[in-house]
Amino acid sequence: MEVTTNFSDEDAAAMVAELRGTFTSGKTRSYEWRISQLKGILKMMEDNENEIVDALRSDLNKPAFESVLYEISMLKSSCKVALTELKHWMKPEKVKTTIVAFPSSAEIVAEPLGVVLVISAWNYPILLSLDPVVGAIAAGNAVILKPSEVSPATSSLLAKYVGQYLDSSAIRVVEGAVSETSALLEQKWDKIFYTGNGRVAHIVMTAAAKHLTPVVLELGGKSPVIVDSDVNLKITARRIIAGKWGCNNGQACISPDYVITSRDFAPKLIDALKRELERFYSLEPLESNDLSRIVNSNHFDRLVRLLDEDKVVGKIVHGGHRDKSKLKIAPTLLLDVPHDSLIMNEEIFGPLLPIVTVDKLKESYDMIASRTKPLAAYLFTNNKTLKNEFVRTVSAGGLVINDSAIHLAVHTLPFGGVEGSGMGSYHGKFSFDAFSHKKGVLYRSFLGDAPARYPPYTNGKMNLLKALFGGSILGILRALIGLVGCRSYPKKKSE
């Protein structure tokens, strides 16, 4: 078991040096080592499901249903995809070459980057910690994981079990907060994969810049939901609820942050949301065991501040109850809060859902574009034109039509943000790619050495090479005829 405390810059440097030694030895590159470590993660999840569920309950009061499905099962599925696909991912990819390099063959070889750092967040502390590690291992890297101190029970469980199930000469956990993370960020890494808020992302990127280290930043933002009137209302309400309150009580990076709908349709949507919320969480949602609590009192106070801002008072149309002693806030709907309110300008990351009305849904596009690009954007409609328009117009990390948050489970799609919601992506093959360098390799032989590329330079040679770069067969033939016709390459007067 490897729990790190009082972790200094020197400790960090020593640990990175040790892991670099392992990486340099070539151990992590072998297919067999990668497979054994991926199986180790799978076994870690299988053997310790109950303990993990308990830790998540202790950190977040996360319902066992959500812990088993959205943390453990999703992680296991990610391991299984990597185990099944790894051979194929590692295989050099043959690619065409160009006539300029004729004769030749070419391939792209994926090579591991080296020693990488994963810094994760508290809201899905198992998945967000180990899913990037799956990618790092699959790609053949050594990795240090720094889980979030905001979910301490899960962090200590990760430290305990990573030490027990995985190869500690190449995979380590460093527990801790700002000082430990700062010590780690002082080191030279081959990639930093950070999940969390945008403020710390600046710190991470500044540290990475010192060593020209590439980064993946998995951040958040205000993910909008546009709801058209041409929908199945009950399913729409249920799927918005599943992506919002059903995902850690709104404390998820891709949870719907606000809804945009037409003025006429809003009352119907609100009624449907209320009806389904009551069905799912009863009339006493603060007592429901199916809702996570707010992670800590800082976040509780932050959410209450959004709810109690003067300009927002009177806008609650459902919920609004809270209990600080239990860190619980009821699912809350607000209608037409002012655009300059805090709740419409900060990422909510909790159980509050403002509904904004517009005369025409087309106004949504400007509203979304006026903010930082979100991590996700959702549209509910049966209208084909609207779907096409939405996909063409809205820029976000990812889009979902007629559901919310579920794209996270589709490993064939890249998961990541754009602009303020992050950079880079992962999941499935994209995780392997995130931790690999794609090395282009061109194979030539000593046959077919073309004299045209060598001095003395002439117009004839230049015309031939220009034609080769241009790729037109006719152009190449013309240039060849020209070249044959001026074997002695006489210089023109003008040259």
Using rule CB under 6 A, residue 60 touches ligand NAD: no
In sequence order, the β-bridge partners of residue 356 are: 260
Using rule CB under 6 A, residue 422 touches ligand NAD: yes
Among 197, 288, 341, 393, binds ligand NAD (CB under 6 A): 197
Running DSSP on this structure, what letter comes out for residue 230?
S
Nearer to ligand NAD, 260 or 295 (CB): 295
Taking the complex as a whole, the smallest distance from the CB of residue 178 to ligand NAD amounts, in Å, to 4
Site for ligand NAD in 217-236 (CB under 6 A): 218-220
Taking the complex as a whole, the smallest distance from the CB of residue 338 to ligand NAD amounts, in Å, to 23
Which whole-number Å values give the CA distances from 251 to 86, 175, 286, 298, 378, in the listed order?
A: 32, 22, 16, 14, 17
From 142-150, 158-166, 236-244, 353-361, span contacting ligand NAD (CB under 6 A): 142-150
Using rule CB under 6 A, residue 122 touches ligand NAD: yes
CA–CA dist 241, 270 (Å, integer): 12
From 102-110, 189-197, 241-249, 365-373, span contacting ligand NAD (CB under 6 A): 189-197
Nearer to ligand NAD, 276 or 347 (CB): 347
Is 253 annotated in the active site? yes
Residue owning tokens 């994981």: 145
Q: Which amino acid is at 478?
A: R
Using rule CB under 6 A, residue 128 touches ligand NAD: yes
Which whole-number Å values give the CA distances from 284 to 294, 349, 489, in the listed order?
A: 17, 22, 92
From 23-31, 101-109, 194-202, 262-270, span contacting ligand NAD (CB under 6 A): 194-202
CA–CA dist 11, 27 (Å, integer): 23
Spot the catalytic one: 66, 71, 79, 253.
253
Nearer to ligand NAD, 128 or 483 (CB): 128
Using rule CB under 6 A, residue 379 touches ligand NAD: no
Question: 468 — phi, psi (to 5°)?
Answer: -65, -45
In contact, 255 and 288? CB cutoff 8 Å: no
Nearer to ligand NAD, 4 or 148 (CB): 148
% helix, strand, coil for the chain, step of 5: 50, 15, 35
Spot the catalytic one: 175, 180, 218, 276.
218
CA–CA dist 250, 72 (Å, integer): 19
Map residues 332-351 to x or -, x wherever contact with ligand NAD holds by CB under 6 A: ---------------x-x--
Is 79 annotated in the active site? no
In contact, 220 and 371? CB cutoff 8 Å: no
CA–CA dist 140, 439 (Å, integer): 15
Using rule CB under 6 A, residue 243 touches ligand NAD: no
CA–CA dist 177, 461 (Å, integer): 64
User: Quick check: helix, strand or coil at residue 255?
Assistant: coil
Running DSSP on this structure, what letter comes out for residue 85?
H
Nearer to ligand NAD, 236 or 255 (CB): 255
Among 177, 410, 442, 486, binds ligand NAD (CB under 6 A): 177
Using rule CB under 6 A, residue 203 touches ligand NAD: yes
Beta strands across the sheet bearing 115-119? 171-173, 142-146, 115-119, 191-195, 215-218, 422-423
**Helices and strands: H and E segment counts in the chain:** 17, 18
From 41-49, 97-105, 132-140, 177-185, span contacting ligand NAD (CB under 6 A): 177-185
Using rule CB under 6 A, residue 190 touches ligand NAD: no
Q: Which residues bind ligand NAD (CB under 6 A)?
A: 119-123, 128, 146, 148-150, 177-178, 181-182, 195-197, 200, 203, 218-220, 253, 347, 349, 375, 417, 422
Q: Which residues are catalytic?
A: 218, 253
